[in-house]
Amino acid sequence: MSGRIFNFSAGPATLPLSVLETIQAEMLDYKGQGMSLIEMSHRSKTFDALTVESEALVREICGFSEDFQTLFVQGGATGQFAAVPLNLSLEGKVGEYVNTGSWANKAFKEAKQLGYAAREVASSADTNHDHIPSGLKPGRDAAYFHVTSNNTIFGTQFQDFPETGDVPLVVDMSSDFYCKRIDPGQFGLIYAGAQKNAGPSGVTIVVIRKDLLERSPKSIPSIFNYKTFAEKNSLYNTPNTFGIYVVNLVMKWIRDQGGIDIVEKANRAKAKTLYDAIDGTGFYKAHAREDSRSLMNVTWRLPSEDLEKKFVSEALENDLSGLKGHRSVGGIRASIYNAMPAAGVEALVGFMREFERKNG
């Protein structure tokens, strides 16, 4: 194995090569400051300007209006499992959750563990999460309606989001934010661990409708308080400065590709190439139903676990890394996030055909 390989890991995931090259070039001296950005005070004018620009870029890429604000926080999506009920719960109302897999279920359990009123309104668990439930709508007493837009483990994704009216739609978009065009007006709050499509691990993006900031009670821990972070421009405590810097570069990379619509077109083409290869044979079998398939995480099985182990091992020998399915499901998983080039998917499909020829 030599040089860069095709990394199909579910996350931390592959980053655009041009972004990595910029990081490399600026590592010792960030914009003539005589030091690396990761050495720089988060209170400096240079970093403050970067934060302001990054906040605007995160909103600009998907068309969020001035009614929304970007927050950069820490703790990953797991931290947001707690932050959402802490900030958005209302007396006499219930947080509603759709269970489409492991992460959605963890978010629901966290709300209950904290003692907030929460209920599961739909689930795909009875079919091992191979689809997105239909007919979703909030109850009259819902404080917010929470969904996980994309499920890395099972390879399913919301094709359209439920209409929730006056009830804020809260979405964990950790694994598919910026993969396609969305309607910003549908959402009350989006949160995403950056390490799939937006940057490195360690920084979490929250895009919140500003009127919802008034729900944040003073009694909750400040480190989880959305209003506190909004008032301090994400600088309430020392942020992940490097993470915000990389998010800034990735947002500019998306913009330089031609914007979110061009990125979506490329993602749909990559996914079609891979799903066609799976569906065109009896040797491979996709886990997700066709109407719920993810653009980002493609999951499938082989005729036996021994063949799956052999597939992963031989794929690595061919510079195709990160294809082992999640331990809770098994099988094969290819994560084809924005930065995965079409050449990577084509190389994988070529390997799949040759592997079937030898082992089918």
pLDDT of residue 10: 96
CATH 3.90.1150.10 placement within the chain: 259-359
CATH 3.40.640.10 placement within the chain: 18-257
Q: What is the pLDDT of residues 294-308, one digit of tens each?
A: 999 999 999 999 999
Confirm whether 196 is a catalytic residue.
Answer: yes
Mean of per-residue pLDDT scores for the chain: 97
- Choice among 31, 106, 126, 172 that is catalytic: 172
pLDDT of residue 257: 96
Q: What is the pLDDT of residues 84-115, one digit of tens each?
A: 999 999 999 999 999 999 999 999 999 999 99
Q: What is the pLDDT of residues 210-256, one digit of tens each?
A: 999 999 999 999 999 999 999 999 999 999 999 999 999 999 999 99
Confirm whether 103 is a catalytic residue.
Answer: yes
Under a CB-based contact definition with an 8 Å cutoff, are residues 198 and 174 in contact?
no
Helix axes 260-279, 342-359, angle to 10 degrees: 0
- Choice among 109, 176, 180, 196 that is catalytic: 196
Q: Name which of 115, 112, 106, 79 is nearest 221 in CA terms.
A: 79
CATH of domain 18-257: 3.40.640.10
Which CATH entry fits the domain spanning 259-359: 3.40.190.10, 3.90.1150.10, 2.60.120.10, 3.90.226.10?
Answer: 3.90.1150.10
Confirm whether 253 is a catalytic residue.
Answer: no
